[in-house]
Amino acid sequence: TVRFVLDCDTGSDDAIAILAAAGHPGLELAAVTTVNGNVAVEHATDNTLRALDLAGARVPVHAGAARPLVRPDLPVPRAVLNKDSAFQKHGLGLPEAVSAAREGHAAPFLAAYFTDPAHAGDTLVATGPLTNIALALALEPRLVERIARLVVMGGAHGNGNVTAAAEFNFWADPEAAEAVLSAGLREVVIVPLDATHSAPLTGADCAALEALGTPGALASAQLVRHRLDHDRASASHDPSSPVHDPMCVAYLVRPDLFTEAVAAHVAVETAGARTTGQLLVDTRPWRDEPANATVALRAAPEVYREFLHEALG
Ligand code: BDR
Ligand code: CA
C-alpha cells in the first residue's frame, strides 16, 4: 500500500479525495492537515472531520495556517470569489462530525512526521494552498530530503481559473507555492488544471457512483452533482465538471492516470500585476535551471473512473 499524508482545504473536491483515500485498498491515509483556502481553516477542518467520519476512518487531523504565508489574506474575499461559499462553510451537506482535530499546528506536525525514520518513503499530497508545507520546510529544512515525494494539485500551464494566469491554490498563496517548488524536494509531481480539466465528471458518473451505494460513493455523487449544478449556469451543453483534488490521490495507485507529462523547471510568479500566482512551466531545452518537477498535462478519464469506483465502491 501507498502511505501518505494529505494537506487540504476541504472544499468539495478535497472531500472526495478524502473519501477515496479512506476507501481504496491500496492506500493508507496516515494523517490529514488543513489549511486556509476554499474556506477558512476552521471550516476546512470541520469538513475534513465530516468526510473522515462518514468514511469511518480514524485518521489524525491537525489544523494549520489561517492565512497565507506573507499576505494578510486572500487577494479577493472568498464570498466574492465563490458564489457557493455558504455550502462549503456549512459542512458540504455531510453529517456533522463526532471526532475532533488533534492538538498541535499542522506545520510542526508535518515536520515531525516526515523526519521520523519510520515514515521514510511516505508521500505528501497537497490539494490546497501550500502555506502549511512552506511553514514546515522553514521549521525543518531537512524535509527536502525526508519527504520522499510531493504531489500537488495547483497551477495551470494554459489558462488559470481565478485569473487568466493563475489557478486558485497557487493564487491564494503564491509566496508559499514558490517557496515549496523552489525548495529542492526530491520528487515533485504537479497536477495542474490542464490535467484535471481533461477528465471532467458528468451526470452519468454521478449515477454510476450512486449505483455503488456505499456511504462514500453516495456522498461523492452528491458533491459532484452539486458541482455540476453550480457549473451548469455557464455550460452551453451537457454539463461536466473537473473534480481536481482526487486526481492526486488516484495517481498514487494509478500512475497510468496521466497520459501526458513533462519534466520542467517550475516557478510561481509572486509579483506580477496581472500574473500573480501563475505557474511557469519551463521546458526549454536551453534553460539554465534543471527540471525540478514533473507536470501532468493530460489525464485518462477511464482510468480516473476506474479509480473512483475501486476507491468508493
Ligand atoms: C483547486 O482549488 C480548489 O477550489 C479546489 O479544491 C482545488 O484544489 C482548483 O483550482
Ligand atoms: Ca482543494
Q: What is the pLDDT of residues 142-154, one digit of tens each?
A: 999 999 999 999 9
Q: Which amino acid is at 53?
A: D
- For ligand 2, the distance from its centroid to the CA atom of residue 168, given in whole angstroms, is 9
- Quick check: helix, strand or coil at residue 4? strand
Q: Which amino acid is at 203?
A: G
Residue owning grid cell 476541504: 10
Ligand nearest to C-alpha 167? 1
Can you read off the three cell numbers belonging to residue 94?
455531510
Report CA-CA distances (Å) from 31 to 38, 86, 125, 222.
Answer: 20, 27, 11, 25
Report CA-CA distances (Å) from 295 to 4, 9, 156, 266.
Answer: 20, 22, 10, 9
Question: Which of 47, 83, 125, 127 to mutate to test ligand 1, by most ligand atoms within 8 A of the CB atom?
Answer: 127
- For ligand 2, the distance from its centroid to the CA atom of residue 241, given in whole angstroms, is 14
Q: Hey, what's the torsion of the CAs at 162, 159, 128, 254, to 10 degrees?
A: 150
In the chain, the N- to C-terminal Cα span, in Å, equals 18
pLDDT at residue 47, as a whole number: 98
Residue 20 has pLDDT above 80, yes or no: yes
Query: Mean of the per-residue pLDDT values for the chain?
Result: 96
Closest C-alpha to ligand 1, atom 2: 168
| Rounded distance between C-alpha atoms, residue 154 and residue 192, angstroms | 5
43 included as an active-site residue: no
| Rounded distance between C-alpha atoms, residue 143 and residue 186, angstroms | 10
Residue 86 has pLDDT above 90, yes or no: no
pTM over 0.95: yes
Closest C-alpha to ligand 1, atom 10: 168
Q: How confident is the model at residue 77 (pLDDT cuts 50, 70, 90)?
A: confident
Closest C-alpha to ligand 1, atom 9: 168
Q: Residues lining ligand 1, CB < 6 A?
A: 11, 13-14, 38, 127, 153, 161, 167-169, 244-245
Can you read off the three cell numbers belonging to residue 24?
481504496
Report CA-CA distances (Å) from 110 to 99, 123, 237.
Answer: 21, 11, 44
Consecutive H or E run containing 32: strand 27-34
Other CB atoms within 10 A of residue 207 CB: 11
Residue 227 has pLDDT above 90, yes or no: yes
Are 37 and 245 spatial neighbours (Cβ–Cβ below 8 Å)? no
